[in-house]
Structure 1
């Protein structure tokens, strides 16, 4: 069993499929024709924001290398008299003071802010430089091509520069199909269950689709506001779903949990095996921590589980992932 996943890796590996220089992977399945067809799915003009809030109250509290975003003001409403104070002090300060004095000579005042955050602390895409094994990234690039300066290969900026991620989105509401608000901890969603859900919803998975998986697990965080517990034992797809996605030529997959896949390893000492197969071997971008609740409610109401989806990452040069504000339009 332990070695079975390497046989799957050989079968799903897309290295060279779109050329030796490709850095988009399965997003190549989203053609102009696919986007044009998907745009016609926006029939009602109803929009669903699938992002969680970017603030200090998110789910990143379980480990040291990721933290919730920190938002800080550089200028606020209490700074309205700054120019007067600077001019009065005659400090002979630098260009910044001179700029503020000049800008605020008249009645105009402004506020300004910045944010410090791990790029993958909230609703986000995992890029193709995010996961590797055996010292190789997607398309046989060396893991050492990701340096302290960023990813020299497979950086997330290639996705943004290509026009982003948009096309036909399909929601598979696994939790609702199972008759529960959310799946139990440690549930592994296998290919057969995904087929059952698609059949029951009357929706077909097509080449180039962006597949959304609802486990209902985001409601666990909303109920308890405990990021550590929310991340631990989260349900998700089985690593065996990688081959299912490969056969259907799915472009990308996202879910409402921490890692798309089941958080507890299905094979001992093989953490995030689904990540290894999809990102490193298939070249598939993964979306994590998406809020699918309102969209799922609407889909259940009208029986339509397909929609136009736009989810373009930030154009951060050399980044291995990116925050995203996905919008589904029905």
Structure 2
């Protein structure tokens, strides 16, 4: 079983001095202007204020002109993000209103190349897909893993490596190196995610080996699963690797005890920009991503949030995804 701890470990190091205040989402707007940016262990200044001064890219006419006409004429790209709860992916700034993070930053670059203005919408996990299905949102850039099941309804353009992390209380005396380490444990996961699928796959493998079953507990927001973790109702939380590393560093109450590619079986998991299947946007989005990957702005955005280790060399449309469970 592959155990690629390097990427998440790098994110953990880069984010070790981040503010716990931001993770809990309880910043005081009155003090925001006086608060300095968070400083990562490598000296990187992390701007957590509403004034993000985001990086931008140039419009590329040949790509912008290939955007479907209704979107092009509207002039806006409606982008859906998970409600700001997962730093450094997508979370609220110190005003507790403005959504910031690597996902909105990368989505902004895509919109720039397409010659469109980004219009962000923050919703719960399940409403991301409901909104894409209905056409309310045109693009999701919010840590969606490419899976074979999702490819039946959606098209993907990859933009980050996908690793997941097990996060446990700081005094935990166990680690996760493979399926057998979660046998008999109670693990928190968000319903409908790839992490939940991974846990179920491992549980089946354990049962086939006559090991104890794993109990999965579903939660939909960080406040709930971290409360369960702190109270001992669950042994660990399985979620996105960057979010786990960020929270562990910022809170000082938890630690990452195992990291894996999202597939858990050797296939490299990928995060993809997501659109409703055959809506005409995925090729322009992939081309836009490849432009910013080539010109360096993509790398600068990842560095801004300590996620350089998740960089991909190019964006691919609908690559092999995580198999059905």
TM range, smaller chain: under 0.3
The structure in which a higher percent of residues are strand is 2
TM-score, reference length from structure 1: 0.27
The structure in which a higher percent of residues are helix is 2
